[in-house]
Amino acid sequence: MPRAFTPKVITANALIAGDAVWFTADNRWSPKISEAEFITDEAHADLRLLEAQARQDEIAGAYLADAKQGPHGPEATHFREEFRTRGPSNYAHGKQVEL
Amino acid sequence: MYKYNDFDEAFVRERVAQFRGQVERRIDGSLTEDEFKPLRLMNGLYLQLHAYMLRVAVPYGTLNPTQMRQLAYIADRWDKGYGHFTTRQNIQYNWPKLDDVPDMLEALADVEMHALQTSGNTIRNVTADHFAGASADEIEDPRPVAELLRQWSTDHPEFQFLPRKFKIAVSGAKHDRAVTKAHDIGVRMVHNDAGEAGYEIIVGGGLGRTPMVGKVLRAFLPREELLAYCEAIVSVYNLLGRRDNKYKARIKITVHENGLETMQELVEARFEDIRKGFTGYDQELLKQIEGAFAPPAYVSKSSANFEAARLANPAFRSWADTNISAHKAPGYAIVSISIKKHGQTPGDATSHQMRVMADLAEKYGHSELRISHEQNVILPHVHQGDLLAVYTALREADLATANIGLVSDIIACPGMDYCALATARSIPIAQEIATRFDELKIEHEIGELKIKISGCINACGHHHVGHIGILGLDRAGVENYQITLGGDGTETTTIGTRAGPGFSADDIVPAIERLVTGYLDLRENADETFLQAYRRLGMEPFKAILYPAEDKANAA
Ligand code: HEM
Ligand code: SF4
């Protein structure tokens, strides 16, 4: 039985800085997951991923990541994706201090 | 130390120039990521969770002060002011920007360094005993041979697309401090019955998903045959190694599937073919290289102030007793600088600390530094009379932690804090264990104990060969830590045994505390190390400590 589709966001690493970015509904790459397009339809997810991956001169390695809707927009569901929204835990580096 | 000749210099510069062009083409969109990825990996550039990561080779772990200062400069100018020293004697920068990387590589080339073959399915940075050329138990300095292997393997046209990565380690001493039995090829210097020096060649060791202890392929290889023999091994592997499944592609699987005997036959046959092509130039080259590794001009002077300071200053005594090893030259000592202050990230050094270590090497250490696979920095040649001055300067830079070989001298890979492949974090676990045992003030009482932590099955943190190994996994979206016991990375290499079910991130540090304090009750006397006690008693008593009966009842 095919698994039920769970909501997604599209994420990648910015080409020059390498930091985590999320694909917005208006085709921007945002450093905040809360601004990501929240995708609930599988066919739409596949299409948007193709569009995201085509933006080769802006990002590297776009993929679909599980997400849930929070009070301020999409949030990560897995701890790996949560880390990407924040930065490492051993130093105050990355998004936790830059955003 | 080896100095680049005109060829080396031109080669490294040319590769930097090529990469500069490749980066430009990637940024202007003419190369896709799929096209660019193999090119960046050839130059040691990874893409991690939060940024790119540049892995720079420190060949056989040896650095001079100028190089160390340049690593500090690179950290300040293009990164966040620190670097991470790894188990493969590399240094990793965690925050480079893509368009800065060519300049970073240029800055490395300025001090005869590079990031070539620090990734990809090539022969990687050749590692060596970090006490090479200094330790009292050494037959011969392994670094000339390591340099020869490096020159042979760098850009070797036949070996740029091996089935998988290929790692070589070299040791010249009785005690194996280079983990040779966990490498694709391990080269150990030995004497034969006639008293001649040669090599024992070990193949097919490796950690990762299928850990294996290396096997002796040739018990004694005459010195002059080393390159031809290694070429025969890699050449056989290149054809026989599996390319259909990357989890079965390492030479350890090739040896396992085909058997040691078949491997021996194939290698010997190939060796017979190849050796004719080695007409002695490699040996001439080796002679030149050996000249570059001549021992330093040792001085003889009084060590009286060392003994006096040892008696007068308990903190100095504790440091000297823990962080100093026996040197082959009279009056000299090997200093291991711990870059694992309790609560710090194992293996990280700030640019300031790098400069302090460079200055000390220059002033007191015959201008030599080493990076150890245990993620510490070594001053291999310090006169005992200078130890107090070295200690005092280290203390000011927060580098005088007296914990070498103890419970807080933990190897930890970057784990989920940086690594894109991770299944759990490793750094915070290392930090918490070190901090906890520092609070308990029992680490000197515990004595020698090696804890090693990896953030996924790839085992970059060597957990399989830790006396206590910790492997971080993802269990249904939650970090979970598995403990292995009885691992050993020395000449008696052993893969640790899994103790039982894993622990949550909150429970793992208390479990380790229970285990270690429990060992104190189990040991025969204060001289019996954790590993010895484990070998004597087996898993059961340790398992009972880790999984007390009442917990089992609760879990059921
Ligand atoms: C952060 C980026 C890193 C990535 C993507 C990475 C990737 C890998 C992979 C995929 C393997 C398994 C190879 C295999 O079994 O075929 C591996 C093994 C290994 N890596 Fe890493 N690693 C990283 C960092 C490190 C670091 C920081 C160290 C040193 C602390 C290291 C040292 C090793 C060692 C010692 C092994 C196991 C020995 C073996 O090759 O069998 N790696 N790594
Ligand atoms: S062991 Fe896993 S998590 Fe740790 S550095 Fe290696 S690949 Fe990354």
pLDDT tens, B392-450? Answer: 999 999 999 999 999 999 999 999 999 999 999 999 999 999 999 999 999 999 999 99
Could you list the beta-strand ranges (E) of B415-475: 451-454, 468-475
Of the candidates B470, B497, B494, B414, which has an alpha carbon nearest to the alpha carbon of residue B179? B494
Assigned domain for A36 exists: yes
Domain of residue A43 covers 8-98
Statement: residue B553 has pLDDT above 70: no
Sequence-ordered list of residues with C-beta below 8 angstroms from that of B382, at least 6 positions apart, any chain: B332, B333, B334, B335, B364, B365, B390
C-alpha to C-alpha distances, B370 to B64, B128, B129, B309, B361, nearest whole angstrom: 8, 10, 9, 26, 10
Q: In the predicted model, what is the mean pLDDT of residues B483-504?
A: 96
The residue to mutate among B84, B452, B460, B464, having the most atoms of ligand 1 within 8 angstroms of its beta carbon, is: B460
Residue limits of CATH 3.30.413.10 in chain B:
142-292, 412-555
Assigned domain for A1 exists: no
Q: In the predicted model, what is the mean pLDDT of residues A9-18?
A: 98
Q: Which amino acid is at B178?
A: A
Architecture field, domain B6-109: Alpha-Beta Complex (3.90)
Q: What is the DSSP string of B67-97?
A: HHHHHHHHHHHHSSSEEEE-TTSEEEES---
Judge contact between B139 and B191, C-beta under 8 A: yes
* Average pLDDT across chain B, whole number: 95
Assigned domain for A3 exists: no
Assigned domain for A30 exists: yes
How far does CA A46 lie from the centroid of its chain?
A: 14
The ipTM (two decimal places) reads 0.95
pLDDT of the residue at B556: 41
DSSP code of residue B172: -
- CA dihedral for B128, B132, B137, B140, sign (positive or negative): positive
Q: Evaluate: CB of B460 within 6 angstroms of ligand 1.
A: yes
Say if the Cβ atoms of B477 and A87 lie within 8 Å: no
Architecture field, domain B412-555: 2-Layer Sandwich (3.30)
Q: Evaluate: CB of B360 within 6 angstroms of ligand 2.
A: no
Which residues on chain A are in Cβ contact (under 8 Å) with B51?
A: 13, 17-19, 94
Statement: residue B236 has pLDDT above 50: yes
Closest ligand 2 atom number to CA of residue B455: 3
The class that CATH gives domain B142-292 is: alpha beta
Size of interface A-B (CB pairs under 8 A): 74
pLDDT of the residue at A2: 66
Say if the Cβ atoms of A90 and B26 lie within 8 Å: no
Secondary structure of B8-31 in the HEC alphabet?
A: HHHHHHHHHHHHHHHHHHHHCCCC
> In degrees rounded to 5, what are phi and psi of residue B46?
-105, 165
Longest dimension (CA), chain A: 44
Helix (H, G, I), strand (E, B) or coil at B253: helix
Q: In the predicted model, what is the mean pLDDT of residues A64-71?
A: 97
Assigned domain for A2 exists: no
> In degrees rounded to 5, what are phi and psi of residue B111?
-115, 30
Query: Which residues of B lie inside 8 Å of A (Cβ-Cβ)?
Result: 26-29, 32-33, 47-52, 80, 94-99, 345, 416-418, 422, 425, 427-428, 431, 474, 477-479
pLDDT band at B62 (very low <50, low <70, confident <90, very high): very high
Q: Spell out the alpha helix ranges (H) of B222-332.
A: 226-240, 251-258, 260-275, 281-292, 304-312, 314-323
Say if the Cβ atoms of B47 and A61 lie within 8 Å: yes
Q: How far apart are CA B168 and CA B308, in angstroms?
A: 43
> In degrees rounded to 5, what are phi and psi of residue A61?
65, 50
**CATH for B304-396 (3.90.480.20, 2.30.30.230, 3.20.20.20, 3.30.2350.10):** 3.90.480.20
Residue with tokens 């997810």: A45
How far does CA B485 lie from the centroid of its chain?
A: 20
Distance between Cα B472 and ligand 2 center (Å): 9
Say if the Cβ atoms of B97 and A18 lie within 8 Å: yes
N- to C-terminal Cα separation, chain A: 42
Q: What residues does B206 pair with on adjacent strands? A: B212
Total number of domains constituting chain A = 1
Statement: residue B223 has pLDDT above 60: yes
pLDDT digits over B529-545, tens only? 999 999 999 999 999 99
Judge contact between B236 and B258, C-beta under 8 A: no
pLDDT of the residue at B520: 97
Statement: residue B88 has pLDDT above 50: yes
Which of these ranges, A9-13, B78-82, B194-198, B472-476, has the smallest mean pLDDT?
B194-198
Q: How far apart are CA B349 and CA B372, in angstroms?
A: 13
Assigned domain for A59 exists: yes
Which residues on chain A are in Cβ contact (under 8 Å) with B418?
A: 88
Which residues on chain A are in Cβ contact (under 8 Å) with B427?
A: 88-90
Which residues on chain A are in Cβ contact (under 8 Å) with B422?
A: 80
HSE (side-chain half, CA atoms, 13 Å) at B218? 25
Distance between Cα B123 and ligand 2 center (Å): 19
Judge contact between B89 and B373, C-beta under 8 A: yes
Q: Which two tokens stand for residue A35?
A: 């601004």
Assigned domain for A52 exists: yes
Q: Evaluate: CB of B88 within 6 angstroms of ligand 1.
A: yes
N- to C-terminal Cα separation, chain B: 61
